Amino acid sequence: MKDSTILIADDEKEIADLVALHLEKEGYRTLTAQSGPEALRLIHSQPVDLVILDIMMPGMDGYEVTRQIREQHRMPIIFLSAKTSDLDKITGLVIGADDYMTKPFNPMELVARVNAQIRRSTQLNQAPEDKRPNVLEAGGLSIDPEQREVKVYGRVVELTPKEFDILYLLAGHPKKVFSAENIFRHVWDDDYFESGNTVMVHIRTLRRKLGEDAEKNKWIKTVWGVGYAFNA
């Protein structure tokens, strides 16, 4: 795990150097970028296992960098930003980030979050070849966990990694009710955020992408006061 390469994209060189110092003490290899375009060039030119990304950067903000990364890559992304509003956090998570920390920050907490994301990513990518998980199908919905591909009546639906993980978790346990906190722990493998609000936003976006009418709850059923379940 500690052979992983971490890209730190922040236009404040002092912060990037501080983060790099702590990660290198943990055994990680680090790269730094001071703009959005520079971060993308590094990602496209060599293997990167995780990205720590500021939002306000010259040339291209962190939101757009994330959108472009998600077009081709699935490595974890952690936002590290001075933007502290709930809207900023939710926007970052919805467009594809896996975690969000605000400045000022505790470097050791950031290292802990990096460790958690790298550990989860490694586990997902090391599934045994002879244990290929089956494609889940339900009423026109098809979920392929190996290809991480979702189709609705044959149409491919583009989901963020977290949206896919939520859907696969629910669909893999039909009729079982998961609270927002349980979903957050399973998918994010963490207890840092206000999990209920984060999960609610992801469920809402997931339903929209699947073409559901929220009131009918075709696939994802809301169990009021409890949580969510997959309506097989």
The percent of residues in the chain predicted with pLDDT above 90, rounded, is 48
Domains 5-124 and 130-230 share a fold: no
- Taking the C-alpha atoms of residue 64 and residue 177, their distance in angstroms, rounded to an integer, is 35
Mean pLDDT of the chain: 87
> Would the pLDDT of 17 be above 70?
yes
The percent of residues in the chain predicted with pLDDT above 70, rounded, is 90
Domain ranges of the chain: 5-124, 130-230
> Would the pLDDT of 132 be above 50?
no
Q: What average pLDDT does range 71-100 have in this prediction?
A: 90
Q: What average pLDDT does range 49-62 have in this prediction?
A: 94
**Which CATH class name applies to 130-230?**
mainly alpha
- Taking the C-alpha atoms of residue 93 and residue 79, their distance in angstroms, rounded to an integer, is 9
**Between 14 and 72, residue with greater pLDDT:** 14
Fold adopted by 5-124: Rossmann fold (3.40.50)
Give 177-217 pLDDT, tens digit per residue: 999 888 888 888 766 555 557 888 889 889 989 987 655 66
Q: What average pLDDT does range 10-31 have in this prediction?
A: 95
31: left (phi over 0), alpha (psi -120 to 50) or beta: beta
Please report which confidence band the pLDDT of residue 130 belongs to, taking 50, 70 and 90 as the band edges. Answer: very low
pTM for the predicted model, two decimal places: 0.65
pLDDT at residue 193, as a whole number: 52
